[in-house]
Structures are given as structure tokens and as C-alpha cells.
Amino acid sequence: MQDAGSSQAGGDQKKSRYNLMDKAELETLTVAAIREHRRLLAADQAVYEEWIRASEDPTIASSVLETLQEEHFARQKRAAAQQDELSDMLDALGFVPEVPVDDDVS
């Protein structure tokens, strides 16, 4: 029980840090975080697709499959942590800023 309170306190500190920021500065930071999130998702999708392709190929060694699977799961964890941070930024900002789609991210 104490751990849950400790992690909640850490989340509150993050949120208050963003709440104290200048809105223009926070919007710029949030736009950068959204772009980074899009980039991470695209890279994660590529690893996932490679893992699926390799899983269907009987000539691929099990060690390669395991490495791809571990990479996929590690990327999911990083993306979830980044999503939590982005969510805190958006909560403090109070709106989702316009972020044009980059040419290199589909």
C-alpha cells in the first residue's frame, strides 16, 4: 500500500512541474513529445512486423525470435512510460495541440 502512495506522489510532482510551466513553453514541449511518440510507435510497429514475419519462417532460429520478442516487449514498456509522461503534459496544458503529420512518419 505504501508503494502505491509513493508512486502517486511522484506522479503529482510531475504534474505540478508541468502545471508551473509557461503555457507556450509547455505547448512546445508537448508538441515535441507527440512527435517523439509518433516516431516510437512507427519504430515499434516495424519491430513487431519483423517479429511476426520471423515467427512464420521456420528457418529462423528460436534465439532470433526470442530477441525480437524481447525487443518488442521492451519497446512497449518504453512507449507506455512515454505515453504516461505525454498524458501528464496534456493534462497540464488542457488541450491537444495541432501537430502536423511528419513526412517520415505514416
Q: What is the Cα–Cα distance from 54 to 72, expressed in whole angstroms? A: 13
Class of the CATH-defined domain 22-93? mainly alpha
Q: What is the DSSP string of 3-65?
A: HHHHHHHHHHHHHHHHHTS-HHHHHHHHHHHHHHHHHHHHHHHHHHHHHHHHHT-TTS-HHHH
Q: What is the Cα–Cα distance from 51 to 53, expressed in whole angstroms? A: 5
Instruction: Read off the amino acid at residue 34.
Output: I
The per-residue pLDDT for range 44-99, each reduced to its tens digit, is: 999 999 999 999 999 999 999 999 999 999 999 999 999 999 999 999 999 999 99
pLDDT score, position 101: 86
Q: Tell me the domain boundaries of the chain.
A: 22-93
